[in-house]
Amino acid sequence: MRQRKIKNLQEKLESFAAYIIRDPKSSKGAAGALFPKKQPLYLEIGCGKGQFITRCAAAHPEWNFLAVEGNESVVLRALEKAAEQKAENIRFILDYVDDLGDLFAPGELSGIFLNFSDPWPKDRHAKRRLTCARRLAEYQTALQPGGFIQFKTDNDDLFDFTLEQIEEAGLYVEALSRDLHHSQLTAENITTEYEDKFAGAGKTINYVRISVKR
Ligand SMILES: C[S@@+](CC[C@H](N)C(=O)[O-])C[C@H]1O[C@@H](n2cnc3c(N)ncnc32)[C@H](O)[C@@H]1O
């Protein structure tokens, strides 16, 4: 998606410094200390404009949320939302994450959300997809036993690929729908900006939740 160029972007981001983790590798194993309250920690990779994570944070003040987004122009809107609602339980990493093992000690996370992740449709880019087997294995290590990975996408090919990768990784599927908004799972669903856009245009939304049973 083309982004409008934001004037004084760095200055604007800096005004939300309290929400931004600048050196996330240094808090590996101690991510809980980044928040005022020590409570279960949930991660969203690719939070975009932040509708999902800010609504999660409002709905679950008893959890902490870490949102990662590499596109600074986009994440500015997410930071604004977090500040508007004076959220104390959200922090942001402004980067593209690769190996989660660089950021989290084994078992440090309670859940991981992947929402409308970039599809990388070319076969030769399959390893860049956030749901490839290598990444699923890293997520599994970062999650505590009983933790989960929740994935939503409008992209049917990416969803099929993800289900294959889940099987390959031997992970346990707790819930699955190829039409989330017309399933019983929708009651607890918190939507994202992309989800509203695609569902509004009549596209069915794919959903899978995997649990880690180590
Ligand atoms: C298609 S958008 C979806 C945004 C949002 N989750 C939603 O559903 O509205 C995907 C976002 O993920 C971000 N992203 C992709 N790979 C990432 C990574 N490895 N680390 C952090 N952000 C990433 C992109 O910059 C982009 O903003």
Distance CA 152, CA 164 (A): 15
pLDDT tens by residue, 113-167: 999 999 999 999 999 999 999 999 999 999 999 999 999 999 999 999 999 999 9
How many whole angstroms from 159 Cα to the centroid of ligand 1? 16
What number of residues does the chain have? 214
- Is the CB of 96 inside a 6 Å radius of any atom of ligand 1? yes
What residue ranges do the domains of the chain occupy? 9-211
Show the tokens assigned to 12: 């604007």
H helices of the chain, where? 9-14, 51-59, 72-84, 133-142, 156-169, 193-200
pLDDT category, 214, cuts 50, 70, 90? low
pLDDT tens by residue, 163-190: 999 999 889 999 999 999 999 999 999 9
End-to-end CA distance of the chain: 39
Tell me if residue 159 falls in helix, strand or coil. Answer: helix
148 forms beta bridges with 111, 211
pLDDT category, 2, cuts 50, 70, 90? low
Which of 147, 141, 44 lies closest to 99 in space, CA to CA? Answer: 141
Top mutation candidate among 3, 45, 79, 112 for ligand 1, by most atoms within 8 Å of CB: 45
Under 8 Å between Cβ of 109 and 42: yes
CATH of 9-211, one of 3.40.50.150, 3.30.390.10, 3.40.50.300, 3.40.640.10: 3.40.50.150
Closest ligand 1 atom, CA of 193? 9
Nearest CA to ligand 1 atom 24: 46
Under 8 Å between Cβ of 92 and 67: yes
Mean pLDDT of 42-71: 98
- Is the CB of 194 inside a 6 Å radius of any atom of ligand 1? yes
